[in-house]
A and B are shown apart, each in its own frame.
Chain A
Amino acid sequence: MFNRDFWSEIFMALRRNKLRTILTGFAISWGIFMLIILLSAGNGLKNGVTSNFADRIQNTYHIWASFTELPYKGHKANRYIMLNNKDIQLLETLYQVEEVSPVLSQGGTLIFGEKSKSVSMEGVKPIYKNIEGIKMVDGRFINENDMKNKMKVVIIDKNTSDELMRINGVSTMIGKTVFINGLSFTVVGVCKGQPWGDYGQCYAPYSTLQALYNVNRYYQLTFITRGLNTKEDNEAFQKELKKKLAALHEFSPDDKRAVWIDSQMVNSLETNRIFNTINIFIWVIGIAMLISGVVGVSNIMRITVKERTNEIGIRKALGAKPRSILLSIVMESLVITTIFGYIGLFCGMGVMEIVNMVLKTGEVATGGGEMSVFVNPTVDIKIVVSATLVLIISGVAAGFAPAWKSVKVKPIEAMNYR
C-alpha cells in the first residue's frame, strides 16, 4: 500500500499546488513554532525559578521571628519575638527534627592587607551548606572538626575573594588570614555569592562565633526534618511546632505573624503546582493556535478534493478501492501537517537554542552569581514526541472529513462533476 507509487502520487499532488501547499503549511508551522516558543519559555521560567533552590534539599525548614499580631496573656500586640537558645533546645527534642543549624548573624568589617570591606558573618553548622544549597567555588565548607574545636576559619564569597585578590595581588585567598572585627580567621573556602547587596558574605563555625560572642538571639533557625514526606505531614508538623513555640514565647497559637515557619517541600510543591498550571495554560493556547492551522489544512483539503472530484471518479471507475482514496487524501493532509509542523518545531527549537546560548554567555560574563529568572529555555524530547502526536492527530483530523466525503460520492456523480 505505502509503496513508492503511493508516495509519488501524494508529492505530485502537493507539487501541483506549491503556493497553496506552502501557505497552508505556514499556518501549521506557525502554530507549532509558537507552541514550542511558549513551552520553552515556560520551561525556562520554571528552570530559572527552581534552579535557585535546586541544590537545597527538600526536607528543610526555616523559622523567622517577627512581631505578634494579637495581644495574648497580658502581652500587647506588635511585640517582637526573638528566637533564642531555648528554641534550639525545643527543636532538638522534636522527633521529626534531624539536625538544627542556627544562623548566628554578626555584622562586621573584614580587613585583609590594604582592603577593608563590610561583611555579614553567619555562624552556622556544616549542614547549613545543604540547607541553603551553597555552592563552593574553591576550598571547603565548615566541617565537624571546625565545630568541635571551635576553629577560627571562615568561608568568604567569590566576589569578596576576587576583590581581595585583586587589590592585594594574591592568586588565592585559601589559607590566608583575614581580620573580622579585629579577630583573625583563616580562609578555608570560597563560595558563590548571594546575588544581592554589596557587602561580603562570610560563614564561620557556629560554635566558634557562639564562644566569641555568646549570642542568645537568632533572627533565623534552620533545620532538617525526617519522615515528613507529604504536604499533609508538613502542615501537621508546622501546626504542632507553632503551638510549642507559642507556648514558649507566650503568643497566641492563632497568631499568624509572630513566627514564620517555612517548609522547602511545601514551597516547591506550591511552585510546581503553579508551573504545572502555567504549562497547561500554554498547551491550551498552543493547541488553540494549532487548531486554526488545522482548520486551514482541512479547508484546503476540501478544496483539493473538490477540484479532484473528476479524477477521483475516474480512479473509482478504474477500480480504486475506497481505502486507497481515503488513505491518499488523509496522507496528503498528514504529509502537509507533519512536514510543516516539523519545520515549525525545528525553527522554534532553533530560536530557543540561540536564546539559551545568549543567556549562557551572559551568565559567564556576570560570574555566575546572579539569581536567574530564565535558565535553559528549551524543550525536551517528551515535548517533541507529544508535538509529533498532536501533528499526526491533527493531520488525520484535517484530512478525514474531506476524504470521507469523496469516498461516499458515487463514481458517476464524481465523473460528471463540473
Chain B
Amino acid sequence: MIKLNNINKTYFGAQPLHVLKGIDLEVAEGELVSIMGASGSGKSTLLNILGILDNYDEGDYYLAGKLVKNLSENQAAEFRNKLIGFIFQSFNLIPFKTALENVALPLFYQGVNRKKRNMMAMEYLERFGLKDWAEHYPNELSGGQKQRVSIARALVTSPKIILADEPTGALDSKTSAEVMQILREVNATGITMVIVTHERGIANLTRKIVHLKDGVIESIEENDPDKMDFTKEIK
C-alpha cells in the first residue's frame, strides 16, 4: 500500500534542517503501523509526506501503486480526497460547521449531492454513537466526541489508508482507549492505518512499531497487541 524509497526532506530556513535522512519503509494493505519517536525525530514530517500535505526533496513515494512525486495541487487534492483519511491531534474540525457538515465535507469535494452526502455522514456518525450530536457544533462536543467526529470524517469517503497524527494526544486516558479501540476496529475492516505517536502505550496497540530517531529509522518492531489488556488504562 505504501512504499518509501530513500525519502529525504530538508527544511530550508535560516538554518537548513535535514529532517528525514533517507527513509525506506513498506506498509502492506490492511496493516496497522505506528511511528514512534521523540519530538523532532521527524515522525510528523513523515506522516505529512505520506498524507501529501507536504512535499519531499529526494526519493520515491508510492501510494497504492502510484508514484507520488511533483504532483500538481489538483492531483494531490484528488489523492487526499479519494485515498487518504486524516485524523489529527487537534481534531481540525471546522468550528462553524455542525458535526454532520464536518463529516460531509470530504464528500462535498467529491461532488456528492447534499442529500446523499448528509445521509452518508449521518450513517458514520451513527456508527460512532454520535447520532444525537449531529447538529452540534464542535465547541459543544467533548474531546472524545470531537475525535470520533473526525474519525467519521476520515472514513466517510472509504479511503484506502488512514493517517493519524497523535490521535489521542489531546484526550484523557479513558477516552484514548476508546478512540484506539475504534481505530483498531476500523483497521479490522481492512483499512491500512498509520499512527504517529510518542506514547508507548498507543504504539503497543499496533502490529508494527517504527522507531524514528533523528530522521532515520532506528528499528522496526513487530508487536502483538492482542497480548495487551484493554481493561487496563493504556497510559
Contact = CB atoms under 8 A, between A and B. Distances in A.
Contact of A311 (B74, B77, B94, B108): B94
Interface string B107-125: 0111000100000000000
Contacts of A321: 73-74, 77-78, 109
Interface string B22-45: 000000000000000000000000
Interface in A286-325: 310-311, 313-324
A324 B77 CA distance: 11
Interface in A322-340: 322-324
A415 interface: yes
A410 B82 contact: no
A344 interface: no
Interface in B47-101: 48, 51, 53-55, 73-74, 77-78, 80-82, 86, 88, 92-94, 96
A4 B106 CA distance: 17
B19 interface: no
A415 B53 CA distance: 10
B48 A318 contact: no
Interface residues of B, number: 26
B105 A315 contact: yes
Interface in A400-417: 407, 410-412, 415
A11 to B, nearest CB: 12
Contact of B106 (A5, A319, A411): A319
Nearest to A308: B94
A317 B53 contact: yes
Contacts of B78: 319, 321
Nearest to B163: A317
Contacts of A4: 114
Q: Chain A's interface: helix, strand, loop or mixed, by majority? A: helix
A318 B91 CA distance: 13
B71 to A, nearest CB: 12
A12 interface: yes
Given A4-B114, A318-B106, A412 B96 contact: no
A320 B114 contact: no
A16 interface: yes
A319 B80 contact: yes
A324 B92 CA distance: 19
A404 to B, nearest CB: 12
Nearest to B52: A411
Nearest to B47: A412
A314 B94 contact: yes
Contact of B92 (A16, A317, A322): A317
A316 B73 CA distance: 9
A105 to B, nearest CB: 82
Nearest to B85: A318
Contacts of B73: 321-322, 407
A16 B137 CA distance: 15
A12 B109 CA distance: 18
Nearest to B80: A319
Nearest to A16: B96
Nearest to B73: A322
B53 A411 contact: yes
A317 B102 CA distance: 13
A415 B114 contact: no
Nearest to A15: B96
B153 interface: yes
A317 B86 contact: yes
Nearest to B91: A314
Contacts of A415: 53, 88, 92
Contact of A319 (B81, B88, B92, B93): B81
Interface in A377-418: 407, 410-412, 415
A155 B55 CA distance: 92
A319 B94 contact: no
A195 to B, nearest CB: 65
A310 to B, nearest CB: 8
Given A322-B73, A322-B77, A407-B73, A317 B51 contact: yes
Contact of A314 (B51, B54, B92, B157): B92
Given A5-B108, A12-B96, A318 B114 contact: no
A71 to B, nearest CB: 86
A407 B153 CA distance: 23
Nearest to A410: B54
Q: Top 3 A-B pairs ranked by shortest CB distance?
A: A319-B81, A412-B53, A319-B109
21 contacts: A4-B114, A5-B114, A314-B93, A315-B109, A317-B51, A318-B106, A318-B153, A319-B77, A319-B81, A319-B109, A319-B157, A321-B74, A322-B73, A324-B109, A410-B55, A411-B53, A411-B54, A412-B54, A415-B53, A415-B88, A415-B92
Interface of B: 48, 51, 53-55, 73-74, 77-78, 80-82, 86, 88, 92-94, 96, 105-106, 108-110, 114, 153, 157
